[in-house]
Amino acid sequence: MKKKFFITGTDTNVGKTLISCILLKKAQKFGFKSVGYKPISSGLTTKKYYKKINEDAYLLNKYSFKKFSLKDINPINFKKSIPPHIASKINKKKISLKKMSHGLNKISKKSNWILIEGAGGWHTPLSNKKKFSDWVISEKLPVLIVVAIKIGCINHAILTKNSIINSKLKCLGWIANNIYKKKEIYYQEYIKYLKTELNIPFIGEVNFLKNKKINIKKIKLNISLI
């Protein structure tokens, strides 16, 4: 069975890539040939061990079941870490939805569990007329939401989920990501409330990871729900 889904967040910098890497490794434990796909990225890292490539794309490739070329994993990329529609204008490089779909089809032929990571939130613009969500809708991809547990996350999570459902797409569920080392006492109340209010499967909670070190055995996510 081939599985394919899109992962979005309640905002930018909510831990989509971190969660994606965890899910990719979890899927491999279940015997899937899991691959991460980042159709569009902005920003190149200067870190020595992977210079001049997008860090998110690098990590998705690293945690996939085998290594692919970065062009396969990330067909459209921009140097500056700015919103895609602005980077597109500055670089006079139109974002092609066909190119995004072509890349997805190419990856799909080589794996049976494909995680497609978005950029920013659900309605990130790609141009003055198109949003990332428009492409997801055209591909009829089921969606998973990463919710960064912080002030404002309840509102963002509800709006994101409702928009996905209104787009006639299946919302697979949501993952709570504790992005801060110190968890405020009311954070668990946020999660408790969202479990009821979102009314979609709760895949699990990820605690703050020091230095982003991933210990798969200690992270409990129910990927059988995805």
pLDDT tens-digit profile of 16-67?
999 999 999 999 999 999 999 999 999 887 665 556 789 999 999 999 999 9
Find the distance separating the first CA and the last CA of the chain, reported in whole Å.
13
pLDDT tens-digit profile of 82-113?
999 999 999 999 999 999 999 999 999 999 99
Residues 6+ apart with CB under 8 A from 37: 60, 73, 103, 104, 107, 114, 115, 116, 117
CATH class of 3-225: alpha beta
Which of these is catalytic: 16, 26, 38, 161? 38
Residue 140 is a catalytic residue? no
Q: What residues does each domain of the chain span?
A: 3-225
